[in-house]
Amino acid sequence: MPCHIAILISGRGSNMTALADAVQQGAIPEAIVRVCISDRADATGRARAVERGIETLVIERQRRTRAEHEAEIIRALEERAINLVCLAGFMRLLSPAFVALYRNRILNIHPSLLPAFPGLHAQRQALAYGVRWTGCTVHFVDDTLDGGPVIGQRLVPVLDDDTEETLSARILTEEHRAYADAVVRIVRGDYEIMGRRVINKSSP
Ligand code: GRF
């Protein structure tokens, strides 16, 4: 039975696109991107999902309480028998109740090597701190901000002439690879979560 994936976005959706394309090209076997849910009607990523023939829902946060908003998202996930929720630039913190319902079945991608630089503008934070290396992290979502167990990371150098834009672009390329690699592992079920550590089951 294939893994039914929902991708939640708020913006341009390049990670959503990368995941959808990886599934379509067979790089993530046994997976289907069932739905792309946006919490904003003006998320430019929606058009990219539509182009790919992916069902697209707009479930706006505006004029609803968080509980109402999440209830509607959960209804959409349940109706489509979603097994894996991928947050891809989704700019809302999920409530503990939502996280509990999909425990260890929600992933997020963050543009830094967590636990360094959680929260907004991670690339700007990395430049301001002066680190020579940064990267991206795919992690399970728990009740903390960017704090759940790490499933994958990729390393990116910070160059002397980097701006926030050039660094972000270099990290983004690695995000797309890291996210697809992480979803492959999830779909294969080839891992175990032991405390904070995500251990590869097939390692000797
Ligand atoms: C990415 O940098 C991701 O790491 C962060 O938000 C950005 C979303 O970009 N969480 P996109 O919408 O996937 O292009």
Protein residue with its CA nearest to atom 7 in ligand 1: 89
Architecture of the domain spanning 108-204: 3-Layer(aba) Sandwich (3.40)
In sequence order, the 6+-apart residues with CB closer than 8 A to the CB of 111 are 122, 123, 134, 136, 168, 171, 172, 175
Residue closest via CA to ligand 1's atom 2 equals: 111
In the numeric block, which tokens belong to residue 179? 């996210």
- Burial tier of 36 (Cβ tally within 10 Å: 0-12, 13-18, 19+): buried
Per-residue pLDDT reduced to its tens digit, 134-190: 999 999 999 999 999 999 999 999 999 999 999 999 999 999 999 999 999 999 998
Phi-psi region of 177 (alpha: psi -120 to 50; beta: other; left: phi over 0): alpha
φ, ψ of residue 73 in degrees (nearest 5): -65, -45
Q: Which atom of ligand 1 is nearest to the CA of 14?
A: 14
Whose C-alpha lies nearest to ligand 1, atom 5?
89
Q: In the predicted model, is pLDDT for residue 202 greater than 80?
A: no
What is the rounded distance in angstroms from the CA atom of residue 111 to the CA atom of residue 127?
12
The string of pLDDT tens digits covering residues 8-62 is 999 999 999 999 999 999 999 999 999 999 999 999 999 999 999 999 999 999 8
Domain boundaries, the chain: 1-102, 108-204
Same CATH topology for 1-102 and 108-204: the answer is yes
C-beta separation of 142 from 153 below 8 A: no
Structure tokens at 40: 């904003």
Map 128-140 to HEC letters. Answer: HHCCCEEEEEEEE
pLDDT classification of 201: cutoffs 50, 70, 90: confident
In the CATH scheme, what is the homologous superfamily, with its name and number, of domain 1-102? Formyl transferase, N-terminal domain (3.40.50.170)
Q: Are the C-beta atoms of 156 and 145 separated by less than 8 Å?
A: no
Q: Residue 90 phi/psi, 5° resolution?
A: -90, 115
69 is catalytic: no
pTM (two decimals): 0.97
Residue in 110, 121, 139, 176 annotated catalytic: 110
| Ligand 1 mutation target, pool 8, 12, 15, most atoms within 8 A of CB | 15
Closest ligand 1 atom to residue 172 Cα is 2
